[in-house]
Amino acid sequence: MEPNASSYSSHSFVEIAMEVHKVVPPPHISTIHKLKTRLKETFFPDDPLRQFKGQPLAKKWLLGAQYVFPILKWGPSYNLTLFKSDIVSGLTIASLAIPQGISYAKLANLPPIVGLYSSFVPPLVYAVLGSSRDLAVGPVSIASLILGSMLREQVSPTKDPVLFLQLAFSSTFFAGLFQASLGFLRLGFIIDFLSKATLIGFMAGAAIIVSLQQLKSLLGITHFTKKMGLVPVMSSVFHNTKESMRKPRLFWVSAGAPLASVILSTVLVFALKAQHHGISVIGKLEEGLNPPSWNMLQFHGSYLGLVIKTGLVTGIISLTEGIAVGRTFAALKNYQVDGNKEMIAIGVMNIVGSSTSCYVTTGAFSRSAVNHNAGAKTAVSNIIMAMTVMVTLLFLMPLFQYTPNVVLGTIIVTAVVGLIDLPSAYQIWKIDKYDFIVMLCAFLGVIFISVEEGLAIAVGLCIFKVLLQITRPKTVMLGNMPGTNIYRNLHHYKEAVKIPGFLILSIEAPINFANTTYLNDRISRWIEDYKEEEEEELKKHSGLRFVVLDLSAVSAIDTNGVSFIKDLRKALEMKGLEASETKKHHFKYSFLFLVNPIGEVMEKLQRADETRDFMRPDFLFLTVGEAVAFLMSTVKGQSSNHV
């Protein structure tokens, strides 16, 4: 059945002891070519042009159009069966999108109708440009929350509602511009810097802040702090509780579907005429579709900095959610979403949205899950949802007149409490304590400082950890696994044994400016340790002869690293000479040996080395086993010559 494999294995797994394989320099590649490869790996790791290769021109044009507008790909083969699935799921998510849209707009301190506008235009744009089949787009809690709280720090939504709305649309424009640019410039990997730990901490912190803010609705506190952050919120609650506390009029905690609570509460308010008894309701909402809003965008003036900052933060956060949700469902259904293309789709959606009275939208996790479970097959479910919202906007707006605000507060709290993910937090605690600290910092930073700073601190800590790992790379001493020529960490594999006369070290990080000083110190200490140990063992063997550096795990090297290897070699040669003078040993071999440097490292060593010392066959080895075997044989050869 596997003739190749079996005939192959029959001759290849015979190890000839002491055989030494030549370490060859990697094939020569020009700098331009290397640059090209590097750029391609950095910006096009998914190789989007691969499908174009070897196709006729017409086909290439079609593929190109399909690449830009994925609807052209699945549109032609769309059929009634798919449509049936999509109409069910579309209506289902619409029933979720309408109350959520109104609630989240309130969360962002915007008029409730803006939430409905934002559930109409963006889904249509996404249906044309997006490549995910399950993503249900619309306003989401976290982006609404950030947008509202960041703008509210400088402008009051109650005192200056028009300016606030202008700033919200402008922020949406910049969020979209930023998202589309990231995708277009293939810089999508920037969102990777928001690690899982950061996001979990951040979302939990934001959820707590939002829940506290909703005390405003639930407890009926009217004078509420403009700032986010636990301390001002708490003191505001405390003060208001004393000053203007009125007993909570309705404490609706619904576990049912948002639409059900909206309908039920609206009917109740209407029937009981509760709006005349102090229950605040949404009030009259204008009928009609999205009015244009491009004349409201602000590209200058004193608030430009604020809207750019708000756009950046909401843009990156909503992008993270959208991309993550898209990837999750694509993995479930085993199809691919192109991260950078999705970013362009979401970005364009927000740019268009900012001109049509929509605020920041993205793919929402809860709604996409519902969409997926209701059997959505294509982006047509988004179109169905948009149509439903359109009908609502055109004809059903009077129905929301009596919807009590408190039910919207409840919907918000229910939604955001779901953002607190304790099992994941526990899992992080179990796996990686540092990640747990990052999570905690994101959480506490958002609660006690601010959204942006909490996020910045967590991202900074993640990067600091990476830098610290590089500044203090792991260097481990290797020993031989008895009966093999495998060498492994002595601390990990207790059965591994040291080879007398050898110090075998493995460096497990790139060698660069950030760690050469440390590596120098550390290796000096290993050598001194070795000498001390030797004295203790009563000079049973004749001392340290060879330092073997296993460079297999050194993924890169820079000029500082090359100097480090050269200097270490010189220093050890000097010490080796001294030792051989005092002890009357004469080795023609140097003291430092390198094992298995990867192509790039070997090439750089070679270029730094005019005398071709590094490429001498008695200096470079393919495996630690071969180095040890070869060096031992030279020692034995020499000692027999001396005798």
Task: Pick the closest to residue 116 from 368, 318, 348, 389 (CA basis).
Answer: 389
| Other CB atoms within 10 Å distance of the CB of residue 499 | 18
CB of 136 to a second copy, least distance (A): 22
- Check: CB of residue 329 under 8 Å from CB of residue 134: yes
Measured N-to-C along each axis, helices 516-536 and 559-583 cross at an angle, to the nearest 10 degrees, of 20
Q: Name the DSSP letter for residue 392.
A: I
Shortest Cβ distance from residue 478 to a second copy (Å)? 11
CB-count exposure of residue 180 (10 Å: 0-12, 13-18, 19+): buried
For the bound state, the minimum distance from the C-beta of residue 609 to a second copy, rounded and expressed in Å, comes to 10
Cβ proximity to a second copy: between 51 and 156 the closer is 51
Quick one: 145 or 425, whose CB is closer to a second copy?
425
Sign of the Cα torsion 591, 597, 601, 607 reads: positive
What is the end-to-end Cα distance of the chain in Å, rounded? 58
Task: Report in angstroms how near the CB of residue 314 gets to a second copy at its nearest.
Answer: 21
**Residue 362 has what DSSP assignment?**
E
- For a second copy, the closer CB: 159 or 642: 642
d(CA 525, CA 517) in angstroms, rounded, equals 13
Helix axes 405-417, 196-213, angle to 10 degrees: 160
CB of 407 to a second copy, least distance (A): 37
- Decide whether 280 or 580 has the Cβ nearer to a second copy: 580
Q: How far is the CB of 519 from a second copy (least distance, A)?
A: 9
Least Å distance between CB 593 and a second copy? 16
Q: Which residues contact 504 (CB under 8 A, 6 or more apart)?
A: 477, 478, 479, 487, 548, 550, 624, 628
State the nearest-atom distance from the C-beta of 380 to a second copy, in Å: 27
The least distance separating a second copy from the CB of residue 460, rounded to whole angstroms, comes to 12
Backbone angles phi, psi at 594, to 5 degrees: -110, 140
Residue nearer to a second copy on the CB measure, 401 or 638: 638
The residue among 356 and 515 lying less far from a second copy, judged by its C-beta, is: 515
Q: Which of 349/628 has CB closer to a second copy? A: 628
Q: Which of 47, 243 has the CB closer to a second copy?
A: 47
Rank residues 158 and 633 by Cβ distance to a second copy and give the closer one: 633
How far CA 322 is from CA of 90, 105, 277, 347, 377, in Å, comes to: 18, 18, 42, 11, 18
State both tokens at 573: 């040669």
The Cα 107–Cα 360 span in angstroms is: 12
